[in-house]
């Protein structure tokens, strides 16, 4: 025992100060992690950044530097403008609805006396299922003539539902080609995206709700808070602030990344109305082997995601952690 204690004292003549020795040991210990971090995470992004200024394609052994040409393409060609519009629109539709539904479902489930776990399981099913597999189900359901959606809608023809002009028109001219009509395709995909993701948000909100101290509700009741709405405004919503920021960030980033439903159902069409960024990266960078262009779109994509993360840190987090 005494030997163990004295060994470091006698063998450390080179650096007498324990802080220096600790710092060196620390540096050695973290170096594998730092190297892995650089090789696995930072290097690929750096390579993509460099390639985005070239016309590199896989298999060719030389490449030409094209400067900002790839970026100029993105911001001037109409198909890429459509890409940005489709991506942003998809995000703007999906995020608020999916977050709102997640919160609503969590609050309703929490208020249940029995059957909580049943509802949790059911709402969480789409999250666990592979979206690609579920896309096939949706493809059948949304088939213009054979799909259950349009066939069910057709049953309502002749009923008072026809007072709704859209319904009457659809009865006369046929119900929409949900995935084949450029006015409907993106909304339909957004619907599927919401269907798939709100269960995840619900689970996050349920976790957030369990962290709200029960005494706060007691205190509010004593302070004269009578309605559920007031209780929500005074306690639940502010206390869920950190959860909401997290849910918003996660959902936004996931919506930016939507790919599988596009690939399975629309391939970016019709008329590029569902041509979202990740699909564009895949199509240009991998399917058409235009790596330089794909890399440029990737950079733009990373820019968006970065913006969201920074916004989260800067503007919101400071307001919802009450320190």
Partner 1 sequence: MATVQLHEIEKSFAGTDVLKGVSLDIADGEFLSLVGPSGCGKSTLLRILAGLETQSSGTVSIGGRLVDGLRAADRDLAMVFQSYALYPHLTVAENIAVPLTMRRLSGAQRLPGIGSFLPGSRALRREIATTVREAAEMLDIAHLLDRKPGQLSGGQRQRVAVGRALVREPAAFLLDEPLSNLDAKMRVHMRAEIAQLNRRLGATFVYVTHDQAEAMTMSDRIAVMMEGELLQVGTPDALYDHPADIRVAQFIGSPAINILPVETDEAGVIRLYGAQTGFRAGSARIEHLGVRPEALMPCDDGELLSGRVRLIENLGSDLFVQLDVPGMLRPVTLRLPPSARGRVRPGDLMHLRVDSDRIVGFDAGGKAAPLLRAEVPAHV
Q: Which residues are near partner 1 by CB under 8 A?
A: 213, 215-216, 218-227, 230, 234-235, 238-239, 241, 322-323
Q: How far is the CB of 236 from partner 1 (least distance, A)?
A: 11
Specify the residue, 62 or 226, whose C-beta has the smaller distance to partner 1: 226
By residue count, the chain amounts to 323
Q: In angstroms, what is the minimal distance from the CB of 244 to partner 1? A: 13
**Minimum CB–partner distance for residue 59 and partner 1 (Å):** 58
Instruction: Identify the three-state secondary structure at position 209.
Output: helix
Closest CB to partner 1 among 148 and 219? 219
61-66 long-range CB contacts below 8 Å, 24 or more apart?
63/292, 66/292
The CA-to-CA distance between both ends of the chain, in Å, stands at 46
Are 273 and 79 contacting, i.e. CB atoms less than 8 angstroms apart? no
C-beta closer to partner 1: residue 61 or 215:
215
Least CB distance from residue 223 to partner 1, whole Å? 4
- Nearest to partner 1 of 139, 317 (CB atom): 317
In the complex, the smallest distance separating the C-beta of residue 242 from partner 1, rounded to whole angstroms, is: 11
Instruction: Report the number of secondary-structure helices (H) and strands (E) in the chain.
Output: 18, 0
φ, ψ for residue 227, nearest 5 deg: -95, 155
> Which of 167, 217 has the CB closer to partner 1?
217
Angle between helices 291-311 and 78-111 in degrees, nearest 10: 40
3-state secondary structure of 54: strand
């Amino acid at each position: 025992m005494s030997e163990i204690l004295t060994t470091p004292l006698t063998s450390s003549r080179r650096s007498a100060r324990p802080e220096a020795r600790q710092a060196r040991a620390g540096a050695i210990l973290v170096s594998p992690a730092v190297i892995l971090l650089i090789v696995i995470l930072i290097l690929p992004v750096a390579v993509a950044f460099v390639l985005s200024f070239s016309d590199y394609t896989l298999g060719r052994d030389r490449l030409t530097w094209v400067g900002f040409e790839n970026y100029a393409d993105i911001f001037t060609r109409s198909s890429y403008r459509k890409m940005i519009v489709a991506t942003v629109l998809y995000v703007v539709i999906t995020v608020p609805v999916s977050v709102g539904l997640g919160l609503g479902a969590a609050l309703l489930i929490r208020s249940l006396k029995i059957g909580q776990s049943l509802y949790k399981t059911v709402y969480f099913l789409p999250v666990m299922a592979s979206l690609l597999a579920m896309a096939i189900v949706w493809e059948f359901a949304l088939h213009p003539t054979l799909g259950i959606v349009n066939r069910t809608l057709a049953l309502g023809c002749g009923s008072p539902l026809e007072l709704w002009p859209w319904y009457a028109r659809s009865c006369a001219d046929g119900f929409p080609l949900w995935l084949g009509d450029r006015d409907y395709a993106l909304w339909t995909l957004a619907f599927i995206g919401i269907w798939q993701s709100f269960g995840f948000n619900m689970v996050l909100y349920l976790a957030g709700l369990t962290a709200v101290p029960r005494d706060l509700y007691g205190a509010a009741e004593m302070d004269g808070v009578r309605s559920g709405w007031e209780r929500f405004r005074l306690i639940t919503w502010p206390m869920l602030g950190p959860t909401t920021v997290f849910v918003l960030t996660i959902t936004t980033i996931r919506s930016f990344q939507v790919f599988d439903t596009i690939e399975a159902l629309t391939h970016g069409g019709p008329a590029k109305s569902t041509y979202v960024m990740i699909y564009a990266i895949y199509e240009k960078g991998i399917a058409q082997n235009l790596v330089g262009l794909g890399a440029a779109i990737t950079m733009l994509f990373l820019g968006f995601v970065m913006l969201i993360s920074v916004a989260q840190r800067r503007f919101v987090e400071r307001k919802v952690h009450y320190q």
